[in-house]
Chains A and B, each alone.
Chain A
């Protein structure tokens, strides 16, 4: 079973700064089938990135994804107040499809 490990668990930054979130897989991710979601309390999770680096429709270009194999990164440039949330990586193309445990991006 593939395990996704996200780091850091909590990231404290200020608006305007850059956030770098990591997701490491215990085995190589086939075809870069790796997605990122944003989740705010009381709201529906929101798809940000799929195929490791493709932005979903309507996602601002300050969000970018990169990586391949076992190491993936979500970068958020010029943090806006609405970007503070929990972020999850997700490997798909398999069953069961694992999620990482999440990174809590909080305002410093």
Chain B
């Protein structure tokens, strides 16, 4: 069974950094693109970033470009999101999601349960 387990969320002050992790199991991690999607309180889903199977293709939402960095480690079956210069508007549940192919431009067939990031002083 596919499992995606996020971690690393918490309370952080504005301007600080945080690193989210997502450990994948139940499928061949190296074969698929992966994504981060977030949901702010009372809001809908927002795609944050996606990475291809070999990290050769990466994309970011304009709202996080230049501040967030997505990466993956095949040896650890893990996806990461390094978040810097955090703002109050980055407060959200962050979900890890698996793409259906190797390229990060498709739909998501499996999602994690999310990790909460709260940016506040």
A residues neighboring B (CB under 8 Å): 33, 35, 37, 39, 42-47, 50, 56, 88, 90, 92-102
A-B CB pair tally, cutoff 8 Å:
60
Q: With contacts A42-B113, A43-B113 known, is A93 near B105, CB below 8 A? A: yes
Any A CB within 8 A of the CB of B9:
no
Contact A90 B107 (CB under 8 A): yes
Contact A46 B106 (CB under 8 A): no
Contact A44 B46 (CB under 8 A): no
Q: How far is the CA of A51 from the CA of B92 in the complex (A)?
A: 28
Q: With contacts A46-B111, A92-B106 known, is A97 near B47, CB below 8 A? A: yes
By beta carbon, the residue of chain A nearest B99 is A92
Contact A97 B105 (CB under 8 A): yes
Contact A45 B106 (CB under 8 A): no
By beta carbon, the residue of chain A nearest B39 is A39
Residues of chain B within 8 A (CB-CB) of A39 are 45
Contact with A along B53-79 (1 / 0, CB 8 A): 000000101100000000000000000
Contact A44 B113 (CB under 8 A): yes
One of B44, B59, B108, B113 near A96 (C-beta < 8 A)? B59
Q: With contacts A99-B44, A99-B47 known, is A92 near B114, CB below 8 A? A: no
Residues of chain A within 8 A (CB-CB) of B95 are 44-45
Residues of chain A within 8 A (CB-CB) of B47 are 96-99
Residues of chain B within 8 A (CB-CB) of A43 are 113
Contact A47 B45 (CB under 8 A): no
Q: In angstroms, how far is the closest chain A Cβ from the Cβ of B62?
A: 7
Contact B113 A95 (CB under 8 A): no
Q: With contacts A95-B50, A95-B59, A95-B104 known, is A47 near B44, CB below 8 A? A: no
Q: How far is the CA of A54 from the CA of B95 in the complex (A)?
A: 24
One of B46, B50, B105, B107 near A47 (C-beta < 8 A)? B107
Q: In angstroms, how far is the closest chain B Cβ from the Cβ of A107?
A: 20
Residues of chain B within 8 A (CB-CB) of A100 are 44
Q: In angstroms, how far is the closest chain A Cβ from the Cβ of B114?
A: 7
Q: With contacts A35-B107, A93-B106, A94-B105 known, is A45 near B50, CB below 8 A? A: no
Contact B107 A99 (CB under 8 A): no
